[in-house]
A and B are shown apart, each in its own frame.
Chain A
Amino acid sequence: MRPKSKVIFKLIVILIIVLSVMIAKITGQTFAISAEIYFKNFILEMILFLPLIFILIGLLDFWLPDSLVESHIGKDSGIKGSLWIICLAMLAAGPLYGAFPVAAMLWKKGSSIRNIFIYIGAFSTLKIPMLTFETSFLGWKFTLLRTAITLPVFIVIAFILEYFLEKNDFSVN
């Protein structure tokens, strides 16, 4: 399919789902009401976070020197590089799909593949705002143990991914 017809196809699918959920809502189906609430929250989250993230990526693309990325989180950055990237990810916020474009930009600028996936791993499981939330609902014991176990697991995953992925399969649009 050509790109334009792809977009139109997606729009049609979106319309069909939205219309059917609206009909379900009119006929009094409870799932439609909660689906609508979820959708409003999702859209709000996306509209709030993503444009900001992309503006930052666009600016960093110009200003962040490749040599800085390479020396801090590049191939020869070792444990220090991984610590850097974990701290960066822990301070982040927003949904996981917002981390992919950031990861892609860092890769393009010379980060090692291992550190890219450590970033995604830490972003998905160790964000500080999320940890405070987790603690209040599941207790500090659960949160602490989960983070302590998760950290080595995603580091191992990052090493495995680095082993399997050559630079050239890691295509960035």
Chain B
Amino acid sequence: MIFLLSLTIISVLFSYMFDRKKTYQGILKGLKMFWGIFPDLVLILVVASLILGLLSREMIAQYVGQDSGVWATIMAAIIGSVALIPGFIAFPLAAFLKEAGVSINVLAVFITTLMMVGIITFPIEVKFLGFKAALLRNVLSFVGALVIGLLMGVFL
């Protein structure tokens, strides 16, 4: 965060030194893009918080189960794909699930789908990458996450 902030400040200063007009235009253009996705983002974050609020830790632990069966893996993949959970919540949650006896492959599938697949943020992805690219990326990442989970289960 501090890195990003200082990078932005330094870039703005440098850019300003070289060309004032371009700097204004650049900042304005960036903020316009931000404003363009702002309503979508707020809606996405409201929905994501509601889903997370409804899904308590204990409920997730119950869904992904104590066994490493196919059902638990699929549930973990679905929850991981739908939920939008930032790292500072996701990893403590994963540690909690591990304590609760969730198997490694289910855990890995959950973490990886959380990271790579974003069903809630799909509209944002479509805006920037186009529908076909976004759809293919999410589908392939979902399959990839299952493969990763499977391999993790074999090795750990």
Contact = CB atoms under 8 A, between A and B. Distances in A.
> What secondary structure prevails in chain A residues at the interface with B?
helix
A120 B12 CA distance: 25
A170 B148 contact: no
Most buried by A among B1, B116, B152: B116
A125 B132 contact: no
A121 B92 CA distance: 22
Interface in A1-58: 7, 10-11, 13-14, 17-18, 21, 31-36, 38-39, 41-43, 45-46, 48-58
Contact of A54 (B23, B30, B52, B111): B30
Contacts of A138: 91, 94-95, 98, 107, 111
Contact of A55 (B12, B115, B121): B12
Interface residues of B, number: 76
Interface of A: 7, 10-11, 13-14, 17-18, 21, 31-36, 38-39, 41-43, 45-46, 48-63, 91, 93-97, 100-101, 103-104, 117, 120-121, 124-125, 129-130, 133-134, 136-138, 141-142, 145-146, 149-150, 153-154, 156-157, 160-161, 164-165, 169-173
